[in-house]
């Protein structure tokens, strides 16, 4: 919310302006208190829930929601959920729980480390933890590393490496680029592959709309079939 700034052009009018200035200050303070709320949330819908280049909904739509509590010293914890479709039978939805720490190093570098639990409540045998570290530079570039020693509860190591970049375009549109690689120990639970995405996003107040083109390399398409094909994904989310 933009702050209200009123100026008195004449000293004689000060007494008339003062009550309105006081109201403006109260409104600004209330807006700042709301903006600094430790709880954030989001609700969204997408034409396809794609995770690291692979559709998690068999190329179908998904509805998603999440909430995060952030402490003043940088610790945070939250929950995020979505419907999923990996074929006949369970699971039908995913409910992630996570805890992490976020901090700035000067004005250039931001560091975030998180432990994320992938939960599939109706197919608990697939639950597993992943540890994810992300470093951002100048708010435009990022490097991400993820590691788990238990991919889909299989006692198998898995690594994920990604780089990303974000650029502002005219009309308050953002261009987001990313490329990543998934690696699995000895190929026991999956074949190594690369993924990429190109996305355009625009915010309308609390509403953000994103159009993305997402895909994988030949190894991904060969190993995972249709769910790894290149595709357009449209998403919309609202949150505070």
Domain 43-239, CATH among 3.40.50.720, 3.40.50.300, 2.40.160.40, 2.60.40.60: 2.40.160.40
Closest CA to 130 of 111, 107, 112, 113: 113
HSE-up (13 A, CA, CB side) for residue 98: 26
**By the 8 A CB rule, do 236 and 47 touch?**
no
Q: What is the pLDDT along the chain (240 residues), one digit of tens a residue?
A: 433 343 333 333 333 333 443 334 444 444 444 557 899 999 999 999 999 999 999 999 999 999 999 999 999 999 999 999 998 888 999 999 999 999 999 999 999 999 999 999 988 788 999 999 999 999 999 999 999 999 989 999 999 999 999 999 999 999 999 999 999 998 778 899 999 999 999 999 999 999 999 999 999 999 999 999 999 999 999 998
Backbone angles phi, psi at 123, to 5 degrees: -155, 60
Q: What is the pLDDT of residue 190?
A: 86
Contacts of 23 (CB under 8 A, 6+ apart): none
Can you give the pTM of this predicted structure?
0.84
* pLDDT recorded at residue 5: 40
pLDDT in the model for residue 237: 98
Residues linked to residue 128 through DSSP beta bridges, in sequence order: 118
- Residue 235: its H or E element: strand 231-239
Task: State residue 122's pLDDT score.
Answer: 84
pLDDT at 13: 36
CA distance 85 to 59: 9
Report pLDDT for 35.
55
Nearest CA to 180 out of 166, 190, 192 is that of: 192
């Amino acid at each position: 919310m933009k702050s209200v700034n009123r100026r008195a052009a004449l000293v004689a009018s000060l007494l008339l302006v003062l009550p309105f200035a006081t109201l403006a200050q109260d409104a600004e303070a209330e807006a700042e208190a709301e903006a600094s709320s430790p709880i954030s949330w989001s609700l969204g819908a997408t034409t396809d829930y794609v995770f690291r280049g692979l559709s998690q909904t068999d190329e179908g739509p998904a509805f998603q929601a999440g909430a995060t509590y952030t402490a003043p010293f940088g610790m945070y914890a939250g929950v995020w959920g979505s419907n999923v479709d990996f074929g006949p039978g369970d699971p039908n939805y995913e409910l992630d729980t996570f805890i992490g720490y976020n901090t700035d190093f000067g004005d250039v570098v931001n560091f975030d480390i998180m432990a994320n639990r992938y939960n599939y409540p109706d197919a608990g045998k697939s639950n597993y933890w992943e540890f994810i570290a992300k470093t951002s530079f100048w708010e435009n570039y990022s490097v991400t590393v993820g590691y788990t020693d238990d991919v889909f509860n299989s006692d198998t190591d898995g690594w994920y490496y990604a780089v990303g970049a974000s650029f502002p375009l005219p009309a308050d549109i953002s261009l987001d680029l990313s490329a990543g690689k998934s690696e699995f120990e000895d190929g026991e639970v999956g074949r190594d592959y690369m993924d990429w995405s190109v996305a355009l996003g625009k915010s309308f107040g609390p509403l953000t709309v994103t159009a993305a083109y997402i895909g994988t390399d030949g190894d991904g398409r060969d190993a995972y079939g249709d769910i790894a094909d290149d595709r357009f994904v449209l998403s919309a989310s609202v949150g505070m």
